[in-house]
Amino acid sequence: MKGERARELLLNILSDTGITLNGSNPWDIKVTDDRFYQRVLRHGSLGLGESYMDGWWECDRLDEFFSRLIPARPEERLGKDLRRLFSLIKSAGKDPGRIARAFQIGERHYDIGNDLYRAMLDRRMVYSCGYWNHADDLNAAQEAKLDLICRKLRIVPRQWVLDIGCGWGGFARYAAERYQARVTGITVSREQAKLAAEICGGLPIDILLQDYRELSGKFDHIVSVGMFEHVTRKHHRSFMKIAYRCLADSGLFLLHTIGSNLTKTANDPWIEKYIFPNSIIPSTRQICAALDGLFIVEDWQNIGADYDRTLMSWHGNFECNWPSLKDRYGERFRRMWRYYLLSSAAAFRTRYMQVWQIVLSKNGVPGGYQSVR
C-alpha cells in the first residue's frame, strides 16, 4: 500500500475523533517516520504500539489520544480486508491456559523486576485497581480497596483465607494485620513469591509458588484479585469448580477482575505480545457461564472508573522514578510501559473496560447478603 494512500485512510479513520496528524493539541499524533502509516494499516493495534515503541510517532498526552480514539472504534471504519488486520490474533489449536504454560505470565510480566514495581506501586505493592471513594492518594486508595474486600468477605479473627494470585502479598498482609486472618497466597511469579514471603514474614501467612489447579483443602473464604484475566476462557469453568471445591460451605468468594463490555475470544495483539501473554478480559456472559450451577451471586459492584486514576498514579510514579530504572530497562521499555499504562487508563476512562468485584456463596447467605460499599 502506497504511503500517501495509507495516510489518507488514517485521516479518514481519525476524522471524527478530534485527533489531527501533526497537529498542535496535546493528544495529536506527531509522525516522525512516514513508514508509520503503512505499518498501522497493515498490523492494526500491534503496528500502532510497536511504531510508538520504535519512536515513529510522538504524542504529548497518550491517555487523551486513546480517550478520543477508543470510542471511535477505528476497526469498524476500515474496509472488510483491512478490518481483518485490526482483528484479534486467533490461536486455533492452541490452549494458552494449560498448566505447562501457566507460569509464562509470571516470567514475562510479573518477574520483570521488583525494583520496577516498587517504584510504580503504592507502599503495599498492590497491582490492581484502587478504591478512590474517600481516598486522596494511591496509598489510601489501595488500603481502602483491601479493607473493602475484607469487609465484603466478613472476615473475623483466625479465619483461613485463600488468596488466588496473591501478588506481592499486599492483601495477605493487610488481612492478617487488620483482621487477624490466616492467609495462604499462591502466585505463578517467582519474584512475587520471593518478595511476598519477605513482606509477610512473621505473620500467619503462607506464600506458595503454584498454579491454582494444584490447590487442595478447605478455606473459610477465598479472594482472587486481578488473576482471573490470566485464566483464559477455556478454563473459566474449571477455575470456578476449583474455587467451589476449596470454599467452606458457609464461606464467601470474592472475585475481583477486569471486565469487558464485549465477549471476545482473544486478547489485543499488542497487549498479548508485550504485556499480558495468554490472557483474556472476561465479559459478563463468560463469567456467568462459568458460575452457572455452582455459585450464587450475592453482590456485583463495578469500580472500573477508579482504574483511570489508579493507572495515572502508577504512570506518574513510573516517570518520576525513571532515572533510577533507565540503566536497567532502556528507552524502548520506557515507551512500551508508558504506552501500556496510558492506553489502559483511557480504556477505563471511556468505560470501554470495567472492574468488577463479585461476591459469591455456595448456598446463599442466610437472610440475604447486605452489600458493602
**Is the model's pLDDT at 100 over the cut of 60?**
no
120-134 per-position pLDDT tens digit: 999 999 999 999 999
As a whole number of angstroms, the distance between CA 21 and CA 179 comes to: 54
Confidence band of 3 (pLDDT split at 50, 70, 90): confident
Confidence band of 102 (pLDDT split at 50, 70, 90): confident
Confidence band of 88 (pLDDT split at 50, 70, 90): very low
Q: Based on the domain organization, do 23 and 128 belong to the same domain? A: no
137-185 per-position pLDDT tens digit: 999 999 999 999 999 999 999 999 999 999 999 999 999 999 999 999 9
As a whole number of angstroms, the distance between CA 327 and CA 324 comes to: 7
Domain tally for the chain? Answer: 2
Q: What is the mean pLDDT of residues 184-198?
A: 98
240-275 per-position pLDDT tens digit: 999 999 999 999 999 999 999 999 988 999 999 999
Confidence band of 191 (pLDDT split at 50, 70, 90): very high
366 lies in a domain? no
Q: Based on the domain organization, do 104 and 179 belong to the same domain? A: yes
Q: Based on the domain organization, do 201 and 293 belong to the same domain? A: yes
CATH number of 313's domain? 3.40.50.150
Q: Based on the domain organization, do 223 and 340 belong to the same domain? A: yes
Give the ranges where 180-301 is alpha helix by DSSP (H): 190-199, 236-246, 269-274, 284-291
Q: What is the mean pLDDT of residues 20-30?
A: 96
What pLDDT is stored for residue 83 in this prediction? 44
Q: Based on the domain organization, do 154 and 285 belong to the same domain? A: yes
- Which of 29, 54, 86 is the last residue in one of the domains? 86
As a whole number of angstroms, the distance between CA 311 and CA 349 comes to: 10
- Which of 86, 111, 135 is the last residue in one of the domains? 86
Give the ranges where 154-283 is alpha helix by DSSP (H): 170-179, 190-199, 236-246, 269-274
Summary mean pLDDT of the chain: 93
What pLDDT is stored for residue 166 in this prediction? 98
Q: Which domain holds residue 76?
A: 3-86
Confidence band of 89 (pLDDT split at 50, 70, 90): very low
Q: Among residues 89, 128, 75, 91, which one has the least CA distance to residue 268?
A: 89
Q: Based on the domain organization, do 271 and 158 belong to the same domain? A: yes
**Is the model's pLDDT at 95 over the cut of 60?**
no
Q: Based on the domain organization, do 192 and 293 belong to the same domain? A: yes
Residue 368, judged by CB atoms within 10 A of its CB (0-12, 13-18, 19+), counts as: exposed
Q: Is residue 165 within a helix (H) or strand (E), and if so which, with residue range?
A: none
Return the DSSP state at 100: G
- Which of 26, 54, 86 is the last residue in one of the domains? 86
Contacts of 271 (CB under 8 A, 6+ apart): 279, 340
Contacts of 85 (CB under 8 A, 6+ apart): 41, 42, 43, 44, 78
Q: In the chain, where do the E strands start and end? A: 30-31, 57-58, 160-164, 182-187, 205-209, 219-225, 247-260, 296-302, 353-361
Q: 3-state class of 312 per DSSP?
A: helix
Q: Among residues 118, 157, 124, 152, which one has the least CA distance to residue 140?
A: 124
**Is the model's pLDDT at 190 over the cut of 70?**
yes
CB 355 within 8 A of CB 304: yes
Q: Based on the domain organization, do 61 and 110 belong to the same domain? A: no
Residue 272, judged by CB atoms within 10 A of its CB (0-12, 13-18, 19+), counts as: buried
Q: Based on the domain organization, do 213 and 247 belong to the same domain? A: yes
What pLDDT is stored for residue 86 in this prediction? 45
369 lies in a domain? no
Confidence band of 85 (pLDDT split at 50, 70, 90): very low
94 lies in a domain? no
Q: Based on the domain organization, do 47 and 163 belong to the same domain? A: no
294-351 per-position pLDDT tens digit: 999 999 999 999 999 999 999 999 999 999 999 999 999 999 999 999 999 999 999 9
232 lies in a domain? yes
Contacts of 150 (CB under 8 A, 6+ apart): 174, 175, 178, 179, 181
Confidence band of 66 (pLDDT split at 50, 70, 90): very high
Q: Based on the domain organization, do 273 and 176 belong to the same domain? A: yes
Q: Based on the domain organization, do 82 and 104 belong to the same domain? A: no
**Is the model's pLDDT at 74 over the cut of 90?**
no
Q: What is the mean pLDDT of residues 97-109?
A: 80
SS3 content of the chain, % helix, strand, coil (to 5): 50, 15, 35
Q: Among residues 246, 223, 249, which one has the least CA distance to residue 153?
A: 223
First to last CA, the chain: 54
